[in-house]
Structure 1
Amino acid sequence: MSSGSPAMKRKSSLSSDTPSKRAPRQIPVSCESCRKKKLKCDRAQPCSSCSTRRIPCSYGDYGPFTGGTATENVAQAAQTSPSGVATAPSRHQQRVMTYQTPEGYHRIGDDPLATAVRLENIMMAHRVPTAVSASVRSQLSQSHVSSPISQQGSTPGSLSTLIHGCSASSQNPTNLPLVSYLPSRSEMLDLFDYYCTHLDYQYHLIIPSRTRQDIYKVYANILNGEICDLGILALLFGITSATLFFRLLSTTTTEIAESASREAAFLAGAALMQGNYMTCPTVPGLQATLIIGHHIPGLTLDPSVCAYFVPGTMASQGKSLKLHIIDCPRSAEERRINGCDATELELKRRLWWDLASYEWLLGFLSGPQEFTYSISPQQMNLRLPLNIEDDDIETGDEKPLSTPTCMSYTLARLQLAHICREIVDRTAPEYLQGYEVSYDRVLELDRMLNEKYAELPDFFRFDQSSRRKYANLYRERPQIAWQSAFIQQGYQARLCRLHRWHFIRGAKDPRYSYSHVVSLQSARKVLELKRIMDEEEPILAINSSFWAVMHHVFMSAVTLLINICFNWDDILAEKQKEEVLEACRMLSRAQQVSSIAREGINAMMGTLRKHWIQQKRPMSDVPGSQPEPTFHVDLQQLTPASSNVEPNSNAQFMQPAEYHVPSSQDALNLQNSGSGELPLEDIFSEMLDDSGNVELDSTGWMELLSELTHSTVPY
């Protein structure tokens, strides 16, 4: 084809007369970070993506797109109406407005940026505490405090709404308007005063004066339309949850108390979730989880928030806050250079030692965590809390241990926890290998327990002479009287548990008679302490029905019951039977007051009756007896099972079993009754009457004692 062909001319003509089909390279309008990450950029300065990640936002040589975003335009339109009056955005505007959650800025709807941010947080958020510096973590934590969460513009509600009409747990906790569920300030202060008087003395997880200031600050922020600290909101809801549970028990039904407490606990979890607590924990947030986890451990919570209140999570968050290395040289040097808040520092020490003592006490109770603990003293560096009143922390005016302070009980409880950890360390190797712990080691640990017991201050003795000596102190500070009872029960219950391996043998073998005697003495002391708690009835009487207290009472009753089976013809058998029946009456009263105690007692009764039938000698083997009819009764009718059983009580033992019922009419009444529960006193009376017909199988009784201690709650 020649160069002058028509086709070539047309092509040449088009090339010269029209522009090229390839468009020139478009000027970038996204920032450099979004271009690299291939994210949608809103072209603001800085863009929302860079703001969320708190990184520099640069457009290179081009500069940002200045036309504005839909979000900015809608937000501006929502702020001012044509008349100059602020107005709310329309429904259409709300769909495109940006709001912030703990996972960053999201758009309501299907936004690629929201998806990218969400996925990045899911994959990487847990690495933030170890991947970034302390200063960046502080900025991240502060960003959650000052973020425009959904509570902005809300006003507090009322306590009656929280008790009767609250349905927060049916909503999404990530965007719940938290402030609208707060009680009024006067109601919150009233709840706080109740907590300080009736509950705080058990663990002392707050410094009242500081928490009171936080309450005033929260309500002042609400009044001024400012954002509230989410950690402090969680703390207030935690205090509300614990207080409502015990306060309402004396005035309403158990169901109402549990429902109100559950709603408040859910709100505390929602505040922690909105504050991204797992990634950026705070001291108030940890206080909130400890308050709920310690005071109402048996409360059934929504699955979306229950993980915040379990011991493993609480210990992990304490480590994230570096509470376990507060007094290491590096931390001490930083405080010397930068200064510190002495009250805050002492509070952190208290919180960590509470976490440690909680684990160590649980390590010497049967259950999944038996003979284990995750907080090792070799892996932490902080001194013990001071024996000091809260108001004297700044001055450092520490008192001797012989002087009672608000921290005396915490220090005494920590001392017992150290012994429990020592017992675990010395007995776990043999026990976990299936070997029997030598009796010499049991006696050595018994000596250690008694030595620590002898070091208790006199005002914690609680014997008759000490009670007379400190009667005025107990009237002025009734909390100390209760602390005395609790610490005494703690020691006596641990002594009884330490000797349980040889208690049965001691009834027959003189070599182990010491264990038999000590177990009976400790069991009787536990019951005596409970009688004192019931008879004196100070302003804290409701606490005598704590499940931790009643667990020890039940174990003491079973110890005395087993002793009667081995010595049914003893001259003091009738008196011993009355001791057991009196313990049954204590348990029955607790069942009336506390649903947690009721369900824990029911679970333990199921275990006891199962073993009783196994140990009971067939009636045909008893001379001169006639065989009585045996009926198959579902244990769930005898002791109704519930998903709300104390989490540390093993529901696996609540299985159908074969029971001997006194008469066919009783069996029919039992099967046809609505509740299906027999009075505890009747059940134990039947067992006591048949105590002479029980086979003395040491192995079976040992299994019973082990299974009954599966209620792993702190004392």
Structure 2
Amino acid sequence: MYMPSHDRITVRTREEEVEEDRKKIKRPRAKLTCLNCKRTKTKCDKCYPCSSCTTRGESDSCHYEEGYEPSSHNLSNHEYKAIQDRLERIENALLSSPRPFTSPSTTSRRRMRGEGGAATQERAHSVLVASGSKPNYGPSPTFQEDMNPIYPAVRSDTFPNIIPTTTQARSARWHREMQLVFDTLPNERQMEFITNHYFSKMQFLGLHIVEGVFRNEMTQFLSLKSLNLHFSVDPAWLAQLVCILWVTCHYLTKNEQLLRSEAMINLGLNKSGLINLAIGLYDALEMAFNCSGWLFRPQLRILQTLIVPIYLNMQGCYHTGPLYGPPSDWSCCLWFDIAVGICKGLDLHLDPKIEDIAKLQDPALPPSRPTYSIQMIRRVFHDLLLFDTYSIINSTDVSRKLLPYAFPDESILTPSPSNYTDQAILSEGQPCPRSEKTPFVWTLHQNLISQEWRKIVVLLENLDGIPYSAVMERNQVLRDAFTDFLALKADGELNQHESDAFDLTYSSYQQRFLRLHRPFFLRGYRDTQFDYSRITVVNGARQIAKTHRRLLNDSSDRSIVKSAVFMFQHHITALPILLLNALHDRSSSAQMRIELMESSEAFMRSFNSGFQLHTRIAAKGVCIADEMIKVIDNPPENLQNIEDLLQSINVQSKAAEMKLLQTNMDTNTNTDAINSTNINSYLDTRQPQVDVQAGSNLMTGDQTNMLTLLPNAEQNWWDTDWMLFLRDM
């Protein structure tokens, strides 16, 4: 009988086993470790977010594979408080205990494991911050469509707060640039002095940054810096600090009296040091902007920061001298466009409610302070709206259509901010009426004036189609606000800064009355129906000129007055009213001539002061006033053609202006050949060369200056307004 061999049986059995293995279906098993821990081969506690990711500061990116739903932590209030107290005791013990000795070998082993100083600070602080708020974890981001990990969570119970509660993984470049920003900052005493000067001398108008809030945030920053936790500071707030220091340095370099004071000498602050500091701060500002992601995520602190250098606290569109840091072709137009984009990205023009503010999760807008958050939105938006309004204030009808407002009237839903004091806005108190003096009341009236300007321009676009009654209705609204404004001075004494703010706002009110009634000015000499417009225009022009002359004579050395170049515009556009009144009312010719002469003398004093911001516009005012005085001395026989008369004055004043500027330039050139001081050593090699001239502050061609949104607007003020004036006549 044939029997199969043992080897053949063995072979047959193995083939059958292989065939059976191929038919088996392997079921995938859920991976219990999160993908981050799996990648780094770290022990995972299988929760969301896991403790390892939280320690590394990567809690936002912690997620699991599909098919596994991680458990979440749910702590009772008692457990939460116990953990928080324990962490505080551990932190206090670590801070109070002496640093143990570390051998070089131990240090090298730690560095080999990749625990650098900055990264260690970031991870350690993330643990402390994560324990500072009650966890509210949900499912993995893989299974949650509405979760947006870009926006950091914000603690609503802590205000003010410059630390985001959750931090994303930071790159080495981010840490390097943040460290450069910290290295650029002056010491603590110098920072305190500069910020004090900003809030006491510069931010008198605007108040889009509340001083009390900023000082509390500054205290937090210094505490974190002393604990070596400064990398946890919000880069947007850091940019705000740097920008305040940068802008203030420019004003301090121009204040010779303060530079010689004992306080600045003891702090080691001098002109060359401030220039060097300003140059470094501009670079630090750009790096802080970059670290905050300013172009990728709209943030209120970035918007507040941009308004500081763009508008210079609503004192005027121009900076008072050269800018240290930016390239020679730098303009504020880019920052203005970014500010508009941030404003629209946050929907600040749509009057967001507290529910909408809570969704923004912006650390500068705490939902627990609804009054503060809403008022801050309104203040910042109307600051930007005011700048948007005045950027094309002199545009003709054609150019206004080519360059429309960034915020057209029909797109604005956010009302004006209320008249809150700093204490009331922080304590959820009640606002004051606009006739009561508060630190914010001057800005409130400036906002109202800018809104009235827009309405007046729209009303007067079609002069033939509007009834005179519509003009008088607009006049009554403006008159009511003006009456409340006058009550500010009648109810009490004003200090020096309040008096300056009153004069600037008073001139703006008078200019609005002048602009509203100017189309009916000449008609008032022929028709008694328009007597009110004639009287209003003449009185407004005289008050504007009188106010500006007093400021030039008494307050020209104060920064709030120096920066108010718009007062020159008000003054120059008031001069034709004085001339025409002298020609049509011969009984007033002598008085109008005296006032024109006083204006010419005031302009000449400003021109001779050598302050570069006023040189060109002051020369224009001198020449225009002088030409008008000549017309009053030799009045024309025929007053029917006002256009030819004003055109002749414009042409002749331009020629005289060029001669005056050329004479001044030749005088300064001769003076500089004998006596000049050079500060080029203060600037690094990439900066334009700047000379501090003994007899002049005229700006050189390659020097950087703050520009308006319309190029050469300062040079064309008289020309542009002259066209509008002729159209009105």
Query: Structure 1 length as normaliser, TM-score?
Result: 0.59
Aligned match for 1:358, one of 387, 405, 410: 387
Q: 1:286: how far off? A: 1.4
Return 233-242 or 547-556, whichever deviates more. Answer: 547-556
Q: What secondary structure does 1:398 align onto?
A: coil
Partner of 2:284: 267
Q: Which runs of 5+ in 1 are unaligned?
A: 1-41, 62-79, 101-130, 154-173, 431-436, 620-629, 656-700, 710-715
Q: 1:353: how far off? A: 2.7
Partner of 1:658: none
Instruction: Find the aligned partners of 2:649 and 2:610 in 1 and give their Cα distance.
Output: 33
Q: 1:335: how far off? A: 11
- String of CA shifts for 1:123-163, please: whole Å, max 9, x gaps: xxxxxxxx98665333698777884666859xxxxxxxxxx
Q: 1:500: how far off? A: 4.6
8 A contact 1:546–1:594 mirrored in 2: no
Instruction: Find the aligned partners of 2:386 and 2:474 in 1 and give their Cα distance.
Output: 17
Aligned match for 1:138, one of 152, 174, 177: 152
Q: What secondary structure does 1:402 align onto?
A: coil
Show the 5 A alignment for 1:293-372.
Answer: 293-295=310-312, 297-299=317-319, 302=326, 310-328=335-353, 331=356, 339-342=367-370, 343-362=372-391, 364-366=393-395, 372=404
- Are 1:444 and 2:470 an aligned pair? yes
Instruction: Find the aligned partners of 1:614 and 1:526 in 2 and give their Cα distance.
Output: 23
Aligned match for 2:511, one of 473, 493, 513: 493
Q: What secondary structure does 2:205 align onto?
A: helix
Instruction: Find the aligned partners of 2:357 and 2:710 in 1 and give their Cα distance.
Output: 43
Q: 1:191: how far off? A: 1.8
8 A contact 2:600–2:625 mirrored in 1: no
Q: 1:565/1:531 Cα in 2 relative to 1: closer, same or farther (>3 Å)?
A: closer
State the AA in 1 paired with 2:382.
Answer: W
8 A contact 2:606–2:618 mirrored in 1: no
Q: 1:246: how far off? A: 2.8
Q: 1:346: how far off? A: 2.8
Partner of 2:211: 208
8 A contact 1:234–1:268 mirrored in 2: yes
Q: What secondary structure does 1:317 align onto?
A: helix
State the AA in 1 paired with 2:447.
Answer: L
Aligned match for 1:550, one of 543, 567, 572: 567
Partner of 2:186: 183
Q: 1:262: how far off? A: 6.4
State the AA in 1 paired with 2:576.
Answer: T
Partner of 1:106: none
- Are 1:647 and 2:708 an aligned pair? yes
Q: What secondary structure does 2:151 align onto?
A: helix
- String of CA shifts for 1:187-218, please: whole Å, max 9, x gaps: 22222222222222211111111100121222
Q: 1:631: how far off? A: 11
- String of CA shifts for 1:623-668, please: whole Å, max 9, x gaps: xxxxxxx99978984788857474356539979xxxxxxxxxxxxx
Aligned match for 1:577, one of 590, 593, 609: 593
State the AA in 2 paired with 1:451.
Answer: V
Instruction: Find the aligned partners of 2:356 and 2:248 in 1 and give their Cα distance.
Output: 36
Q: 1:400/1:633 Cα in 2 relative to 1: closer, same or farther (>3 Å)?
A: closer
Partner of 1:128: none
Instruction: Find the aligned partners of 1:132 and 1:708 in 2 and give their Cα distance.
Output: 57
Show the 5 A alignment for 1:169-568.
Answer: 177-226=180-229, 227=231, 228-251=233-256, 264-295=281-312, 297-299=317-319, 302=326, 310-328=335-353, 331=356, 339-342=367-370, 343-362=372-391, 364-366=393-395, 372-376=404-408, 378-393=410-425, 394-428=427-461, 430=462, 437-438=463-464, 440-441=466-467, 444-445=470-471, 447-456=473-482, 458=484, 460-461=485-486, 467=489, 469-472=490-493, 474-475=494-495, 478-501=496-519, 515=533, 517-533=535-551, 537=555, 541-556=558-573, 558-559=575-576, 562-563=579-580, 566=583
Work out which structure has the larger RCO, using CA pairs closer than 8 Å and 6 or more positions apart in sequence.
Answer: 2
- String of CA shifts for 1:669-712, please: whole Å, max 9, x gaps: xxxxxxxxxxxxxxxxxxxxxxxxxxxxxxxx986624899xxx
Cα RMSD for the two superposed structures: 5.5
8 A contact 2:578–2:596 mirrored in 1: yes
- String of CA shifts for 1:361-386, please: whole Å, max 9, x gaps: 55544375588423245545545433
Instruction: Find the aligned partners of 1:536 and 1:483 in 2 and give their Cα distance.
Output: 14
- String of CA shifts for 1:157-190, please: whole Å, max 9, x gaps: xxxxxxxxxxxxxxxxx67811112122222222
Q: 1:289: how far off? A: 0.7
Show the 5 A alignment for 1:64-143.
Answer: 82-85=104-107, 136-138=150-152
8 A contact 1:178–1:271 mirrored in 2: yes
Q: 1:145/1:584 Cα in 2 relative to 1: closer, same or farther (>3 Å)?
A: farther
Q: What secondary structure does 1:375 align onto?
A: coil
Instruction: Find the aligned partners of 2:455 and 2:190 in 1 and give their Cα distance.
Output: 45
Return 218-227 or 558-567, whichever deviates more. Answer: 558-567
Instruction: Find the aligned partners of 2:623 and 2:714 in 1 and give their Cα distance.
Output: 7
Instruction: Find the aligned partners of 1:586 and 1:635 in 2 and give their Cα distance.
Output: 16
8 A contact 1:520–1:559 mirrored in 2: no
State the AA in 1 paired with 2:185.
Answer: L
Partner of 1:162: none
- String of CA shifts for 1:291-318, please: whole Å, max 9, x gaps: 1111174355736985686433212212
Q: What secondary structure does 2:326 align onto?
A: coil
Q: What secondary structure does 1:461 align onto?
A: helix
State the AA in 2 paired with 1:324.
Answer: H
8 A contact 1:293–1:310 mirrored in 2: yes
Partner of 2:680: none
Instruction: Find the aligned partners of 1:594 and 1:325 in 2 and give their Cα distance.
Output: 42
8 A contact 2:573–2:721 mirrored in 1: no
Q: 1:258/1:566 Cα in 2 relative to 1: closer, same or farther (>3 Å)?
A: farther
Instruction: Find the aligned partners of 2:509 and 2:596 in 1 and give their Cα distance.
Output: 21
Return 608-617 or 246-255, whichever deviates more. Answer: 608-617
Return 382-391 or 512-521, whichever deviates more. Answer: 512-521
8 A contact 1:446–1:498 mirrored in 2: no
Percent sequence identity is 14
- String of CA shifts for 1:243-289, please: whole Å, max 9, x gaps: 22333322189997888656645533332123111211322221111
Instruction: Find the aligned partners of 2:657 and 2:606 in 1 and give their Cα distance.
Output: 29
Q: 1:147/1:345 Cα in 2 relative to 1: closer, same or farther (>3 Å)?
A: farther
8 A contact 1:547–1:596 mirrored in 2: no
**How many residues are matched?**
526
Instruction: Find the aligned partners of 1:274 and 1:600 in 2 and give their Cα distance.
Output: 40
Partner of 2:9: none
Instruction: Find the aligned partners of 1:323 and 1:248 in 2 and give their Cα distance.
Output: 36
Return 271-280 or 327-336, whichever deviates more. Answer: 327-336
Instruction: Find the aligned partners of 1:88 and 1:577 in 2 and give their Cα distance.
Output: 84
Q: 1:147/1:135 Cα in 2 relative to 1: closer, same or farther (>3 Å)?
A: closer
Return 354-363 or 369-378, whichever deviates more. Answer: 369-378
Instruction: Find the aligned partners of 1:243 and 1:350 in 2 and give their Cα distance.
Output: 21
